[in-house]
């Protein structure tokens, strides 16, 4: 019996985390964007607006679910699920601390990317099934973009895999323990090759998330709501919940791969052993805040520029980065072997 519980409870915790994340992140987005733009964001519902998202969720749950006449009914109904479920599955391999994770996977990194690559299918389904030219344009743009940027996303992470020697996210974090020169933490973002990899990861990650500067598919000033234009009530809620949940996943991956996961530098590990998950969540939220900062500042990249950036620039750079990392590792190894 307890075996069954041991499997189900983490899954329920993941669902709970995903839903709470959505609620908190929407509020955080509105507040961060508001303050970046010299205004206040929500202020009236609860103290400084903390209950705003709760009210919004209540509104979405009670709204009328409108299905236009000409939609492809099966696809229209399934698309939100096809976008939501992969996002939920991606939580499985994220390590919140050494012992806190849904399940331990030797190939955690590969699993996460594989699952995230199912999202464009749902987006395309949503855009196609809405009988709306604007939604179709938005869906096709989103699918092309997300499929194109999965390649540099994965390729940029391969140097990290090579440097740490494993696809297991917990082992990647342990490979970032220790210090160079005694005080600089061995985080991969501070490693010269890792730094370049982190920049590519940032760009490709933003493109995967459909965030500005790569939010062509939801370009508010052109397509109103892009692929989600015809959705109302909870279907719309699911689509946007999964978008926020994806940004949590990408940020969490970035923290794990480049910023040392749940560890803090210069503080002995046993002091923070019990609050590892809290540190992890904090770092992830700082990462998401950086995404929001970028969102509030930059204009949008045009669709053809976006595609050319992805295929013609990021992929060659990440491929050469893999090559350089391999060569550097071999050189360092042989130098060490000689001396």
The answer to whether residue 36 forms part of the interface with other proteins (CB under 8 A) is yes
User: x/- site string to other proteins, residues 241 to 280, per CB under 8 A?
Assistant: ----------------------------------------
Q: How far is the CA of 93 from the CAs of 22, 63, 227, 229, 297, in angstroms? A: 19, 35, 29, 32, 32
The answer to whether residue 219 forms part of the interface with other proteins (CB under 8 A) is yes
H or E segment and range at residue 180: strand 179-180
Q: How far apart are CA 132 and CA 134, in angstroms?
A: 5
The answer to whether residue 303 forms part of the interface with other proteins (CB under 8 A) is yes
In the list 99, 103, 104, 305, the residue contacting other proteins (rule: CB under 8 A) is 305
**Minimum distance of other proteins from residue 225's CB (angstroms):** 10
**Minimum distance of other proteins from residue 133's CB (angstroms):** 6
Q: Phi and psi at residue 153, in whole multiples of 5°? A: -60, -50
In the list 59, 73, 302, 313, the residue contacting other proteins (rule: CB under 8 A) is 302
Q: What is the DSSP letter of 101?
A: -
The answer to whether residue 47 forms part of the interface with other proteins (CB under 8 A) is no
The answer to whether residue 319 forms part of the interface with other proteins (CB under 8 A) is no
| Greatest extent of the chain over all pairs of C-alpha atoms, in Å | 75
Phi-psi domain of 68 (left: phi exceeds 0; alpha: psi -120 through 50; beta: other) = beta
Near other proteins in 194-213, by CB under 8 A? 212-213
The answer to whether residue 43 forms part of the interface with other proteins (CB under 8 A) is yes
The answer to whether residue 300 forms part of the interface with other proteins (CB under 8 A) is yes
Name the burial class of residue 83, with classes exposed (0-12), middle (13-18) and buried (19+) by CB atoms within 10 angstroms of its CB.
Answer: buried
**Minimum distance of other proteins from residue 142's CB (angstroms):** 14
């Amino acid at each position: 019996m307890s075996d069954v519980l041991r499997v189900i409870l983490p899954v329920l915790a993941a669902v709970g985390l995903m839903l709470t994340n959505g609620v908190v992140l929407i509020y955080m987005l509105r507040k961060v964007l508001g303050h970046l733009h010299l205004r206040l964001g929500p202020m009236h519902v609860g103290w400084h607006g903390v209950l705003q998202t709760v009210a919004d969720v209540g509104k979405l749950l009670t709204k009328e679910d409108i299905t236009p006449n000409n939609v492809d009914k099966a696809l229209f109904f399934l698309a939100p699920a096809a976008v939501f479920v992969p996002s939920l599955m991606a939580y499985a391999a994220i390590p919140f601390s050494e012992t806190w994770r849904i399940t331990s996977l030797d190939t955690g990194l590969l699993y996460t990317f594989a699952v995230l690559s199912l999202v464009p299918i749902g987006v395309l389904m949503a855009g196609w099934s809405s009988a709306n030219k604007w939604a179709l344009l938005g869906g096709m743009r989103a699918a092309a973009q997300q499929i194109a940027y999965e390649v540099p996303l994965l390729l940029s992470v391969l140097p990290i895999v090579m440097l740490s020697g494993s696809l297991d996210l917990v082992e990647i974090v342990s490979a970032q323990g220790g210090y160079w020169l005694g005080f600089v933490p061995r985080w991969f973002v501070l490693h010269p090759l890792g730094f370049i990899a982190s920049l590519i990861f940032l760009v490709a990650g933003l493109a995967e998330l459909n965030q500005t500067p790569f939010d062509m598919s939801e370009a508010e000033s052109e397509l109103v709501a892009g692929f989600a234009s015809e959705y109302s009530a909870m279907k719309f809620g699911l689509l946007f919940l999964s978008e926020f949940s994806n940004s949590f996943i990408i940020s969490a991956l970035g923290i794990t791969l480049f910023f040392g996961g749940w560890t803090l530098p210069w503080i002995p590990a046993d002091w923070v052993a019990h609050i590892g998950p809290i540190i992890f969540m904090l770092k992830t939220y700082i990462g998401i805040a950086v995404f929001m900062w970028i969102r509030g500042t930059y204009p949008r990249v045009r669709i053809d520029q976006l595609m050319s950036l992805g295929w013609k620039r990021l992929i060659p750079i990440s491929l050469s980065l893999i090559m350089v990392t391999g060569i550097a590792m071999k050189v360092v190894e042989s130098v060490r072997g000689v001396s």
